[in-house]
């Protein structure tokens, strides 16, 4: 019947309209950023207090350490700390520097000073490096560059004309109360460990 066909057509029109709106809402929801996505991009937490400065207390920090677990700066209470940053495990300059600190380790100990090497290498790499060259001190792994940022040692470098960001060889001497007493940047390896030892003895 003509009336029935018209009525059916009207019902179809009514049911189609909401489904289009629902589809549009669904499309908008799918393109909107979710709270989960935002959380996934949250920055890695870093030590508070900004960059370090000579004469000021170094902000509290912790890092993975060879031998297992995490090391906190508070564990050095009562001792001076030499924190030396180097570019990479098993490279010539970094090996020579590590050996120099190794050979003077007993004298640093007599000066109430502990040595800690830091690079962005993994703990697995550090363990092999430490064992190979018989370092009597521990190495901190800073893969996320939290310590590197705190001590401001990530700089633009150049190799064979290629520019990149990397660790600038640097050393920091922190006294027994946690105050940064001296820093060496753009370190040249020859004679460096000896200079740091002299400074540690003078504290």
Residues annotated as catalytic are: 94
Residue 52 contacts residue 152 (beta carbons within 8 Å): yes
Task: For residue 190, give both structure tokens.
Answer: 């020859």
Distance, CA of 18 to CA of 24 (rounded, Å) = 10
Question: For residue 30, with 0-12 CB atoms within 10 Å meaning exposed, 13-18 middle and 19 or more buried, which class applies?
Answer: exposed
Residue 81 contacts residue 114 (beta carbons within 8 Å): yes
Residue 114 contacts residue 75 (beta carbons within 8 Å): no
Strand pairing of 70-72 and 80-85?
unpaired
Identify which of 146, 171, 185 has the alpha carbon closest to the alpha carbon of residue 44: 146
Task: For residue 110, give both structure tokens.
Answer: 């007599």
DSSP H helices, the chain, are 2-31, 35-40, 92-103, 105-110, 123-132, 146-150, 192-201
Residue 61 contacts residue 147 (beta carbons within 8 Å): yes
């Amino acid at each position: 019947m003509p009336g029935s066909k018209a009525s059916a057509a009207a019902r179809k029109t009514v049911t189609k309209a909401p489904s289009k709106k629902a589809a549009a809402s669904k499309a908008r929801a799918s393109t909107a950023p979710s709270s989960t996505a935002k959380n996934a991009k949250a920055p890695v937490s870093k030590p508070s207090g900004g960059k370090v400065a000579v004469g000021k207390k170094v902000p509290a920090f912790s890092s993975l350490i060879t031998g297992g677990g995490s090391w906190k700066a508070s564990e050095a209470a009562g001792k001076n700390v030499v924190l030396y940053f180097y570019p990479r495990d098993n490279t010539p300059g970094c090996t020579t520097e590590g050996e120099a600190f190794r050979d003077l380790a007993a004298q640093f100990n007599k000066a109430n000073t502990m040595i800690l090497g830091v690079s962005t290498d993994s703990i697995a790499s550090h363990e092999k490096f430490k064992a190979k060259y018989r370092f009597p001190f521990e190495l901190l792994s800073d893969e996320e560059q939290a310590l590197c940022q705190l001590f401001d040692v990530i700089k633009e470098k150049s190799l064979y004309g290629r520019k990149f960001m990397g660790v600038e060889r640097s050393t920091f001497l922190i006294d027994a109360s946690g105050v940064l007493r001296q820093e060496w940047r753009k370190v040249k390896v020859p004679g460096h460990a000896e200079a740091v030892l002299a400074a540690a003895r003078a504290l």
